[in-house]
Copies of this chain bind each other. A is one copy, B any other.
Amino acid sequence: MAKKDMFAEFKEHSVAEFFKKNKQMLGFSSRIRSLTTAVHEYVSNSLDACEEAGILPELYIEITNISGDHYVLKVRDNGPGIPPDIVPRVFGKLLAGTKFHRMIPTRGQQGIGAAGVTMFAQMTTGKPVHVKTSRGDGTIYEMDVMIDVKRNEPIVKNQRSYPGNWRGTEVTAEMREVLYNRSKYSAYEYVRRTALANPHAQITLVEPDGKKTVWYRTSFEVVRMDKVGKPHPLGITVDDLMTLAHYVTKARKVSSMLRTELEAVGTKSIQELEKLVGRDLLEKNPADLQWAEAERIVNALKQMKFRSPSTDVLVSIGAEQIKTSLRENLKPRYVAAVTRKPKVYSGGIPFLVEVGVAMDGDVKGFELMRYANRSPLLFEQGACAITQAVNSVGWKRYGISSLQDANVVIFVNVVSTHIPYVSAGKQAIADIPEVYNEIRAALMEAGRKIREYTLKVSQMRELLAKKRILEHYLPELSTALARILDEDEQRIHQILKSALEDRYRRLKELEEKIGAGAE
């Protein structure tokens, strides 16, 4: 019977099968974007690992073209290395990792990235990725990793280990259906922007034509991304509380669970909460907590006062570092930067916004550089709250009559333990009102700094225009003055000319000062 047959076909699929069939969801769409995605996944993992381990990152990226759309990507870092028993799951299993469940502002969030590259590599070339890693303990491990797509489990081949003094991880992936160039969506652009937002990292890129570019570090301060946040009582949902109660906590009472698992909940808060929801509920075993009870707790928490979510888990680049980095990398005439104080969205998720602006000098045209936790966002520009905020600002007020016609780079970095991405591609930040408004505020604060510069520039332009007019009329003026004063025309001309040149010299001095040292 047809009806029975329909359900005879009912099957279950692994998440690897799903993403293999929908690889565009992971960023493997066009040829250029696929390569950029692969570079992005490896580079983010390397930077995250270095920062968690407190190491100044040193990355080596090499892209080789075998023929046509067939490339090899190698990324090596000086990070902490990966224990050999963990390697297979990092590179050979989707949805496995250290970052998914922790409140920490890492670049990666989902435990898909590196394994996604493995899947793409094996889909297009049938080959495994090759991993070499050592924890600096005298032993180097190498192995080939593939994914058994039907089961979403790693397949390891050619594993070997040998003595050696080195620390870090090196991954090599062979891919087809990719393309390298230097366009604005390319791996090159991705690396360039990564270097800009990560001045503590030294990054080397070797392009397929052999050209080697090194972005040297401009900051020697170790970035530490090792603090893990806790959810704030004002940001927690009923569902979150249920998950904590049933899967996470080891506490035996709801009251101690709230104290242990949430931020800013102490004895006082528990006493206050007891008045609102009753003692019985707080004495309950979390494993027995019901939805309606959790809902009562969440509603009660919302009526209470707590100190703001702690924001020390947020790792900003810092205004000074942004300015140094923009200066070194873009050679502009003027830079300004702002790192705002942390804010909170959805009641409990901390975030902060930093903005840098680089103008004139070697900066040609307008460029918006978007970042989330220092990771460049190259795609889906239109859908991003950063773009929308930039477009909403009245730049004229700050002396830029049209962004499109100005020589200006606007650099925006949003830092958060949970970046609210629009989609799986993680390329656009959703326009959550608190986040959008804070980006606008940061842009306007930067705008006010720019204004000093743009004002000076326009004053200078006026003065120079006046000087040009004077120069133009100098001969006639000299003649007229000579007649009135009954003086020698040549002498008058000489006096006026040297006065004008003197003034010009002072203008030049003034002009050179513009930008330098300015905020």
The answer to whether B25 touches A424, judged by C-beta atoms less than 8 angstroms apart, is yes
Complex Cα gap A423–B380 (Å): 12
Please report the total number of A residues contacting B with Cβ < 8 Å: 65
Complex Cα gap A12–B97 (Å): 6
Pick the residue among B11, B24, B98, B423 that contacts A9 (CB under 8 A). Answer: B98
Pick the residue among B10, B149, B291 that contacts A86 (CB under 8 A). Answer: B10
Residues of B within 8 A of A110 (CB): 18, 21-22
Interface centre among A12, A97, A242, A430 (most CB of B within 10 A): A12
Within 8 A of B (CB), among A11-33: 11-15, 17-18, 21-22, 24-25, 29
Pick the residue among B2, B9, B52 that contacts A102 (CB under 8 A). Answer: B9
The answer to whether B17 touches A100, judged by C-beta atoms less than 8 angstroms apart, is yes
Within 8 A of B (CB), among A407-447: 421-425, 430
Pick the residue among B126, B238, B424 that contacts A22 (CB under 8 A). Answer: B424
With contacts A96-B12, A101-B11, A423-B425 taken as known, whether A126 is within 8 angstroms of B295 at the C-beta atoms is yes
Minimum distance in angstroms from A391 CB to a CB of chain B:
16
Does A124 have its Cβ within 8 Å of any Cβ on chain B?
yes
Complex Cα gap A102–B83 (Å): 40
Within 8 A of B (CB), among A486-514: none
Residues of B within 8 A of A11 (CB): 96-98, 100-101
With contacts A6-B98, A95-B12, A126-B239 taken as known, whether A423 is within 8 angstroms of B24 at the C-beta atoms is yes
With contacts A6-B53, A126-B239 taken as known, whether A422 is within 8 angstroms of B24 at the C-beta atoms is yes
Does A473 have its Cβ within 8 Å of any Cβ on chain B?
no
The answer to whether A10 touches B126, judged by C-beta atoms less than 8 angstroms apart, is no
Does A111 have its Cβ within 8 Å of any Cβ on chain B?
yes
Complex Cα gap A52–B3 (Å): 8
Pick the residue among B6, B24, B135, B150 that contacts A80 (CB under 8 A). Answer: B6
Pick the residue among B10, B53, B93 that contacts A97 (CB under 8 A). Answer: B10
Return the chain B residue nearest A85 by Cβ.
B7
Complex Cα gap A428–B93 (Å): 29
The answer to whether A291 touches B97, judged by C-beta atoms less than 8 angstroms apart, is no
Residues of B within 8 A of A6 (CB): 49, 52-53, 80, 98
Does A226 have its Cβ within 8 Å of any Cβ on chain B?
yes
Minimum distance in angstroms from A100 CB to a CB of chain B:
5
Does A89 have its Cβ within 8 Å of any Cβ on chain B?
yes
Complex Cα gap A432–B94 (Å): 28
Residues of B within 8 A of A100 (CB): 11, 13, 17-18, 21
Does A82 have its Cβ within 8 Å of any Cβ on chain B?
yes
Does A294 have its Cβ within 8 Å of any Cβ on chain B?
yes
The answer to whether A15 touches B95, judged by C-beta atoms less than 8 angstroms apart, is yes
Residues of B within 8 A of A9 (CB): 98, 102
Complex Cα gap A382–B124 (Å): 30
Interface centre among A13, A291, A382 (most CB of B within 10 A): A13
Return the chain B residue nearest A8 by Cβ.
B98
The answer to whether A291 touches B7, judged by C-beta atoms less than 8 angstroms apart, is no
Does A54 have its Cβ within 8 Å of any Cβ on chain B?
yes
Pick the residue among B13, B127, B430 that contacts A29 (CB under 8 A). Answer: B430
In the complex, per-residue mask of A271-285: 1 if CB is within 8 Å of any chain B CB, else 0: 000000000000000
Residues of B within 8 A of A12 (CB): 89, 93, 95-96
Return the chain B residue nearest A424 by Cβ.
B25
Return the chain B residue nearest A226 by Cβ.
B2
Return the chain B residue nearest A240 by Cβ.
B123
Does A162 have its Cβ within 8 Å of any Cβ on chain B?
no
The answer to whether A95 touches B14, judged by C-beta atoms less than 8 angstroms apart, is yes
Return the chain B residue nearest A52 by Cβ.
B6
Minimum distance in angstroms from A225 CB to a CB of chain B:
11
The 6 closest A-B pairs by CB, nearest first: A126-B291, A15-B15, A9-B98, A13-B95, A12-B96, A123-B239
Beyond contacts A10-B96, A22-B421: 10 other A-B pairs, Cβ-Cβ < 8 A, are A2-B53, A6-B49, A11-B101, A12-B89, A12-B95, A18-B112, A29-B430, A126-B291, A382-B382, A423-B425
Q: List 5 A-B contacts (CB under 8 A).
A: A3-B80, A12-B89, A12-B93, A21-B100, A126-B239
